[in-house]
Amino acid sequence: MTEEAAFAKGMDHNDAANEFGDDAVLSSINKAIPQPKFPAGFTMNAKGLFQEADDGPRQITGPFKVVAQTRDRFSQAWGVLLQWQDDDDERHQLAIARSQLAGDGREVRQALLHGGLYVSPFNKDRNALQTFLASVKIDRRARAVSRVGWQDGSFALPDRTIETGDGDMVVYQGVAALDHEFRSAGTLEGWQDGVAALSAGNSRLVVALCAGFVGPLLAATGSEGGGLHLRGQSSIGKSTALLAAASIWGPPSFVRQWRATANGLEGVAEQSNDCLLILDELAQLDSREAGSVAYLLANGSGKSRAAQTGEARTAKRWLTFFLSSGEVSLAEHARSDGRGKRSPAGQEVRILDVEADAGKGLGLFDTLQGFPNGDALARAIKDAAAEHYGIAGPEFVRSLLGSADLEAARIKAGIDAFAQANLPCSATGQVARACRRFGLIAMAGELAIHQGVLPWERGAAVAAAKAVFANWLEVRGGAGALEDRAAIERVAEFISTHGNSRFQMIDGSSDNTIVHNRAGFKRETGLGTMEYLIPSGTWRNEVCQGLNPKSVASLLVKDGHMVPDGKGKTSRSETLPGLGKTRCYVINQSIFGGEDA
């Protein structure tokens, strides 16, 4: 190996010294990369960083390499990039913002020690380290980014950057550089034979794994953030799907919990930019915040806040795909706070609620892959995910380097084809958006198959996404507008709740019960069904509160649930006991699907 090859491979000063000797090292260094300019009194040798003192050189740290000075695209957030090897010869990299040195530098020392680098515990040496990091210079520059994901053709992770080496060096310089879950272990082949192969043929697992590859494609395809929420009773297998997807990017601890404040989840979401965010146990989130927090995650922008000076701080931003789980849907959890507030339709198609039960009598699974029961298969997948993780995602990103735009064009065409094949003719824009989201999941999976990351047959991702979309559409109640269905449900719920207590019988009925706080009247038709007559004031102020009364009435007429007056008006003039001629809305029993109220 030549000296130049050694440095291209990533050897530090000490590696090269052991390989070639000090003279060869100095020669190679001068040719390979710019050398740092140390502040006066500091030297680096094979044992580490030293400072001259009256009683001789004092060791400040173990050996490390100053790779570059860092700054963001606005020429701010200046810092220094260090690399070193621990006692197990594992390489570590840390970009230190010089603003972290404004205090006593404790966080910086903790990060270095955490990575296995010796740091002197003496106060005098600590101050010397502060001086060195604040003063060392090097002509090489690196672009500092504060969130993971794509930047100038490279993909930054907290502990490394996936790049071609052709452009500027990009490094992550943020709070997650030390505390993050983008760890790796095992092999890609082990992950493929374990997690991926055991998930094959199981629609929910296949879709969950495909979702793990969506994040790096969002920006290139112009797709919006959002995700899937797996809903179902406990012990049905939801956690297996989450752990399988988590293993694409990290260990089992990559699965986070919904139990957090909105501020805390913003930070987690920013760390998941262009990747995958996984949140378990929706019930842990305060129901009063459920709707707003979930929409915030899907929308990709945090709240604006003021700095200590009173000036506005830059809001956190991210673009991520996320998987969630819970025993109830997001909409149901949001309504459980007692206010009965419904999630906006746009939110419910950004965060698609999917039945975790595949409907085959096996919980999450469609097939057991030869295992005696679902519990045995789930344990095998979880064991594999705990042994082989954090490799498939970076490998997928590596396959996209230099070709993301080309692949994005193919993915868009694939999404169009998926929608054309699976979207009902009567579908609204909301359903079309949901269908295209499933199409994106399918195309991400097919690309991972094509790149050799997922070991499945071509078409497996499309088939699974098709099955889950069909189930989503069925559970949703069809391809109509969600707001329309919600309006019909509102009227039906009002009548069913108050049908016996606030609706007075008319038309010769023997029922003379006095009705207090009357909402309307009811009467039997000649067909043995019931009609409900609601005065316009009650219709506007109670039944349709928060909705457009005219639009709701028109919708009910269109669907055959309301009897119009025959003259183009949705309300009718009826003679009501004690009220005389009154304009009212006449609802027939079909609004309940043929069941009695």
Final residue in a domain of this structure, among 146, 177, 208: 177
* 13 in a structural domain: no
Q: Domain range spanning residue 566?
A: 482-592
* Statement: residue 412 has pLDDT above 90: yes
Residue 297, in any domain of the structure = yes
Highest mean pLDDT among 2-16, 34-48, 497-511, 573-587: 34-48
In this structure, the answer to whether residues 49 and 119 fall within a common structural domain is yes
> pLDDT-based confidence at 175, cuts 50/70/90?
low
Q: What is the pLDDT of residue 435?
A: 94
Contacts of 324 (CB under 8 A, 6+ apart): 227, 228, 229, 230, 258, 278, 279, 280, 282, 294, 330, 351
Asked if pLDDT for residue 6 goes beyond 50, the answer is no
pLDDT of res. 21: 41
Task: Mark whether 547 and 580 lie in a shared domain.
Answer: yes
Question: Within a domain: residue 7?
Answer: no
The half-sphere exposure of 52 on its side-chain side, counting CA atoms within 13 A, is 6
Examine the pLDDT at 200 and tell me if it is beyond 90: yes
Q: By mean pLDDT, which of 54-63, 78-87, 352-361, 586-595 is the weakest?
A: 586-595
Instruction: Kindly give, in sequence order, each residue whose CB lies less than 8 Å from that of residue 379, ignoring residues fewer than 6 positions away.
Output: none
Q: Domain total for the chain?
A: 3
pLDDT of residue 429: 83
5 confidence band (pLDDT: 50, 70, 90):
very low
Quote the pLDDT of residue 568: 83
Residue after which a domain boundary falls, among 353, 380, 403:
403
372 and 296 share one domain: yes
Q: Which of 592, 249, 565, 201 is nearest to 392 (CA)?
A: 249
Q: Among 403, 435, 461, identify where a domain stops.
A: 403
What is the mean predicted confidence (pLDDT) over 407-436? Answer: 91
Query: What's the average model confidence in pLDDT over 253-262?
Result: 82
Q: Calculate the average pLDDT of the chain.
A: 85
Separation of alpha carbons 344 and 334, rounded Å: 11
Say if 156 falls within a structural domain.
yes
Q: In angstroms, what is the C-alpha Rg of the chain?
A: 31
| Burial of 9 from C-beta contacts in 10 A (0-12 / 13-18 / 19+) | exposed
Locate the DSSP E strands across 57-133: 58-61, 65-71, 79-85, 91-97
- How far apart CA 549 and CA 555 sit, in angstroms, is 10
**The pLDDT of residue 36 is above 60:** yes
Considering the domain architecture, whether residues 493 and 581 belong to the same structural domain is answered as yes
The per-residue pLDDT for 96 is: 94
pLDDT at 335 over 70: no
Q: Do residues 221 and 334 both lie within one domain? A: yes
**375, 377, 382, 385 alpha-carbon torsion, rounded to 10°:** -170
Q: What is the CATH number of the domain that holds 304?
A: 3.40.50
Task: Identify whether 26 is part of a domain.
Answer: no
Is 202 in the same domain as 349? yes
Residue 339: strand, helix, or coil: coil
Based on the fold, state whether residues 143 and 193 are members of the same structural domain.
Answer: no
**Per-residue pLDDT averaged across 327-348, rounded?**
61
pTM listed for this prediction = 0.75
Same domain? For 243 and 386 the reply is: yes
Average of per-residue pLDDT across 389-409 = 94
pLDDT at residue 482 in the model: 60
Residue scoring higher pLDDT (463 or 486): 463
Give the pLDDT band of residue 118 (cuts 50, 70, 90). Answer: very high
How far apart, in Å, do the first and last CA atoms of the chain sit? 85
Tell me: pLDDT of 294 over 80: no
- pLDDT of 10: 39
> Bridge partners of 170?
143
- Residue 245 located in a structural domain: yes
Instruction: Decide which of 538 and 341 is more confident.
Output: 538
Categorize the per-residue pLDDT at 41 as very low, low, confident or very high, splitting at 50, 70 and 90: very high
Same domain, 351 and 220: yes
- Specify if 158 maps to a domain: yes
Mean pLDDT (whole number) for 510-524: 80
pLDDT surpasses 70 at 97: yes
**Secondary structure, 3-state, 378-439:** HHHHHHHHHHCECCHHHHHHHHHCCCHHHHHHHHHHHHHHHHHHHCCCCCCHHHHHHHHHHH
- Other Cβ atoms less than 10 A from the Cβ of 170: the count is 21
pLDDT at 346: 52
For the ranges 99-108, 324-333, 475-484, 562-571, the lowest mean pLDDT is seen at: 475-484
Label residue 499 by pLDDT band (50, 70, 90): confident
Q: Which residue has the higher pLDDT, 500 or 177?
A: 500
Quote the CA–CA distance of 82 and 95 in Å, as a whole number. 6
Question: Residues 251, 375: one domain?
Answer: yes
Dump pLDDT digits (tens) for 526-585.
Answer: 787 889 999 999 999 999 987 888 988 988 998 889 989 888 899 999 988 888 899 999
**Confidence at residue 509, expressed as pLDDT on a 0 to 100 scale:** 57
What are the distances in angstroms from CA 52 to CA 41, 59, 138, 193? 5, 9, 21, 56
- Which tokens sit at 597? 């109220």
pLDDT at residue 31 tops 50? no
Residues 130 and 194 in one domain: no
* pLDDT tens-place string over residues 125-135: 999 999 999 99
Residue 233 included in any domain: yes
Would you tell me how many other CB atoms lie within 10 Å of the CB of residue 397? 23
- The residue ranking higher by pLDDT, 597 or 339, is 339
Q: Do residues 228 and 354 both lie within one domain? A: yes
